[in-house]
A and B are shown apart, each in its own frame.
Chain A
Amino acid sequence: MSKHDLQNDYNQIPVPHAALQERIRQGMEQGKREQQHKRPKRLRRLIVSTGLAASILITSTFVIPSFATAMAKVPLLGQIYRPFAEQENTGTAIGQKQLATKINQVASDQGIDIQVIDAYYDGATIGMNLIATGVPDVKPEIRSGLYELFKGDQRFAGTETKEVVQFKQVKGIWQARIEYTLGEIKLQDKIQIPVVLTDVFGVHGNWTFNVPVKRLPVTEQVYGTTVKNPIYRTDITLDRLIQGKGSTSFDYTTRSPKKERAHVELTLLDQFGKEIIRNWTWSTQSVKRTKTATEAVEQSRLILGNYVIPKGSYLLQPSLRIDLKTQSIPLTKPLPYREQSETHPLKMEITSIETTSEQVVVEFSTNSSSSQFDTKLAIRNSMYLLKGTEPSDGQDIKAKVTVLDAEKQTFRSTFQLPEPSKHTREEYYLETGYSNTLVNTPLELQPIPFTVD
């Protein structure tokens, strides 16, 4: 078996070019949005009240973590910054409040000693801090370790309990923090967690621990509040809130039509609708997904690490993103051809497909409320002409988009063929970006009110 043979098979895996490009674009958009959240939009307002010294710092275009952490220690500014700084890390708050249980377990192998110095179980998060000694001089990229939690515990079979932990040198001591968020598995308040590290600083070995942890006092509030949206046929239920000493978690359930993959993102607002924390992708864990004959039911957990929600009244604003399968449309398709999801109000209709030996011209309309520029861009990036039959065996061809009637939202996409064809209609097909446009057009649902006692 040669490298060449394996690569040949690998290279024959068909690539859905149009969908792939669109997903890349979406990934980048997601990243840009993320960075925009970190930009000090709201901080500019603060400049007025906190003086020149703060303003000099705040004019930086990025909130870098170290800066954010430093600012979190400043009274007043800290209140605003806290949700943005080290949001994932429950251990930060637990460390500051000195609530972790001291542990003194050492395991030695291959000349490296690993010590678990403390551990905590807060809300739905388990964590522990490690230090390492006898560490070889290694490159930065292998200053890490592979660990597995709950090894051999069948309740965790199939869940992700293996991860990489990064070591950092602080004042000459190699330190690392393991943090794990529990899914649907319920543990006792006092437990022993088996932990195995196998590859540390590039050295293969075995460092085994049995770490005792005791759950910190926790407040759970059960809500069961459901907001229903009959138009989008999606119900979201706020099941409960788990408030630990260094974290706040929300459990919620989404019910949506089985055919449409629905993703819900939550934003925490105060009772007047002012944003407190916007949900970030990595803060949400899909706990369980099941399907009935007609609907998909997804239980999720939003974890806000290093954030303890104060008493008061709040709103959770759900945004719904609907993800449909990309459609391939033969150029011989009877017209008009419509695409519309069962629930999303956006629709697209192709009214005409003209072909010559050199080009394909598609006329269509949408009911998008976006600006012409946005729509043109979205169309250019999401409607493709492809050669062959599905799956594509050629490069996708981008269109030149012209606006036919701005008011009626009608457009024309002109695709120039790479080479003349005598059978354009049979040799090419279209892929529309309707499904991608949908997923990029989130629908804001009714906010869910709740009170923290």
Chain B
Amino acid sequence: MDLRTEHTELVRRAIKQDEAAFEQLILLHSEQLYRTAYVYVKNEQDALDVVQETVYKAFISIGQVKEPKYFVTWLTKILIRNCYRVLNQQTVVADLIEQIPMKDSSREEHLDLIDALSHLRKEYRDVLVLFYFHDVPMKEIASFIGITLNTVKTHLKRGREELKKQLGGLDYVEARSSK
């Protein structure tokens, strides 16, 4: 059985309330879920909160997944919505900012990317995250967000341009390789 077939089989079993299959699926995607949450909320505790809430919501509503091939998109959709929920709370609770753990230098390397993404328009950021980090095909992104394929392409193009500007107007590859 190849990996894709195995994944599809796991989703099918999870839809039928097989807890072990569900757990295996979540573990398979766990790093991706955490990293995407971190890109949005920018601190470990909130990112973990988002993942936990996503797992909980996915667990109780896995039966809603009609086509196993859309599982990743469906799961990411839940995750992103939870991220926005947390972000809104962060805005209300201004003093949460002081909790953002940015002490260790290993994390500072990623701040430019994360900060740049967080300054993008929501529409661009969602499309970039789905396309670049979750490998969701453009057609599926269009269905997921409820926009046309052309709009997805435009958002990707403008998002990339914005990201370049945010990263200092330099070509990103050059900037990274010169570090």
Contact = CB atoms under 8 A, between A and B. Distances in A.
A14 B106 contact: yes
Contacts of A199: 145-147
A1 B163 contact: yes
Majority secondary structure, B binding face: helix
Contact of A6 (B53, B106, B132): B132
B62 to A, nearest CB: 9
Majority secondary structure, A binding face: mixed
Interface in A1-28: 1-3, 5-16, 19-21, 23-24, 26-28
B18 interface: no
Given A10-B113, A13-B110, A141-B143, A5 B173 contact: yes
Given A24-B23, A158-B88, A12 B66 contact: no
A20 B92 contact: no
Contacts of A338: none
A142 interface: yes
B132 A7 contact: yes
Contact of A1 (B30, B109, B133, B172): B172
A32 B59 CA distance: 8
Interface residues of A, number: 55
A16 B30 CA distance: 11
Contacts of B57: 31
Contacts of B55: 23-24, 26-28, 31
A178 interface: no
Contacts of A15: 30-31, 34-35
Interface in B61-118: 66, 70, 81, 84-85, 88-89, 91-93, 95-96, 104, 106-107, 109-110, 113-114
Contact of B104 (A11, A32, A291, A391): A391
B59 A11 contact: no
B109 A16 contact: no
A32 B62 CA distance: 12
Contacts of A35: 60
Nearest to A439: B52
B contact residues, range: 35 or more
Contacts of B114: 13
Contacts of A139: 143
B4 interface: no
Interface string B26-64: 110011001100110000110011011111111110000
B171 interface: yes
Contacts of B92: 158-159, 288-289
B41 to A, nearest CB: 12
A21 B30 contact: yes
Given A13-B38, A30-B56, A145 B110 contact: no
Given A13-B107, A27-B56, A27-B58, 7 more contacts: A1-B173, A10-B39, A16-B44, A16-B48, A23-B48, A141-B143, A391-B104
Interface of A: 1-3, 5-16, 19-21, 23-24, 26-28, 30-32, 34-35, 139-142, 144-146, 158-160, 164, 199-204, 261, 281, 286, 288-291, 325, 390-391
Interface of B: 19, 22-23, 26-27, 30-31, 34-35, 38-39, 44-45, 48-49, 51-60, 66, 70, 81, 84-85, 88-89, 91-93, 95-96, 104, 106-107, 109-110, 113-114, 128, 131-133, 142-148, 151, 160, 163-164, 171-173, 176
27 contacts: A1-B173, A11-B35, A16-B48, A20-B31, A23-B49, A23-B51, A23-B52, A24-B23, A24-B27, A26-B55, A27-B53, A27-B55, A28-B55, A31-B59, A31-B60, A32-B19, A141-B70, A145-B146, A158-B91, A158-B92, A164-B81, A200-B146, A201-B146, A202-B142, A204-B147, A261-B45, A288-B93
